[in-house]
Structure 1
Amino acid sequence: MWAWAAKALLAGAMIAAIAELGRRLPTFAALVASLPLVSVLGMIFLWHARPDAENMARHGEATFWYVLPSLPMFLVIPVLLRHGVPFWLSLTLGCLLTVILYGLLRLVAPRFGLPI
C-alpha cells in the first residue's frame, strides 16, 4: 500500500511541477511533459514487481503503438483553440479523437500483427 501511495505522489508531483513550469516557460514545460517519464517510471516499477525480460519487451513495444494514436490530439487542440473553440470543448474533442483512434488501432493492429 505504501509503495502504491509513493508512486501516486511521485506522479502527482511530476504533473504539478510541469504545470508550474508551464506558467513561466510553456515551451520548456511541453518538452518536459513530452518526455516519457511516466512510461519509464512505469517500466521501472513493472520490472521491480516482475523482472521478466519478455514481459517488459511486450510492454515497451505496446507502449510505442499506443503513443501513436495520442499524437494527433496535440495538433487538433491548438488548431481548435486558434479558431476560437473554447478550451474545454477543444480538450474534449481532442480526447475524443484519441479514444476513437485507440479504438481504430485495436481493430486494425491484429491485421498487421502488431503486439497490442
Structure 2
Amino acid sequence: MYYYIVKIITTTLLIVVISEISKRSTLIGSILASIPLVSVLAMIWLYVDTGNTQKVTELSYSIFWLVLPSLTLFLSLMLLLKRGVGFYPSMALSIILTILAYYLMIALLEKFGIKL
C-alpha cells in the first residue's frame, strides 16, 4: 500500500510542479511537459513492479508509435484557440480528434502488420 501511495504522490507532484512553473515561464513549463515524464515513470514503475525488461520494451515500442497521433491534441488545440474557440470546447474537440488519430494510427499500423 505504501508503494502505491509513493507512486501516486510522485506522479501527481510532477504534474503540479510543471503547472506551477508554467505560470511563471511557459518556455520552461513547455520543456518540462514535453519530456516524456509520464512514459518514463510508467516504464520505471513497470520495471520495479515486474522486473521484466521485455514488458518495458513492449511499452516503449507502443509509446513510440503512439507519439505521432498524440501530437494531434497540441496542434488542434493551438489552432482552435487561435481561431477564437473557447478553451473548454477547444479542449473537448482536440481530445476527440486525438482519439480519432489514435484509432487511425492503430488501424494503419495493423495494415502493415505492426501489432501494439
TM-score bucket of the superposed structures, by smaller chain: over 0.9
Q: Say whether the 8 Å CA contact 2:11–2:41 is kept in structure 1.
A: no
**TM-score of the pair, normalised by structure 1:** 0.93
CA distance in 1, matches of 2:115, 2:30: 29
* 2:68 is aligned with 1:68: yes
Q: Percent identity?
A: 34
Q: CA deviation at 1:53?
A: 2.5
Task: Report the secondary structure of 1:115's partner residue.
Answer: coil
Q: CA deviation at 1:73?
A: 1.4
The residue number in structure 1 matching 2:105 is 105
Moved over 4 A (4+): none
CA distance in 2, matches of 1:27, 1:89: 25
CA distance in 1, matches of 2:15, 2:55: 27
CA distance in 2, matches of 1:75, 1:27: 17
CA distance in 1, matches of 2:9, 2:103: 30
The residue number in structure 1 matching 2:24 is 24
**TM-score of the pair, normalised by structure 2:** 0.93
CA distance in 1, matches of 2:25, 2:100: 32
The residue number in structure 2 matching 1:57 is 57
Q: CA deviation at 1:113?
A: 2.1
Q: CA deviation at 1:28?
A: 1.3
Structure 1 spans left out of the alignment, 5+ residues: none
When the two chains are superposed, the root-mean-square deviation of aligned CA atoms in Å is 1.2
The residue number in structure 1 matching 2:95 is 95
CA distance in 2, matches of 1:75, 1:115: 26
Q: CA deviation at 1:68?
A: 1.3
CA distance in 1, matches of 2:52, 2:95: 33
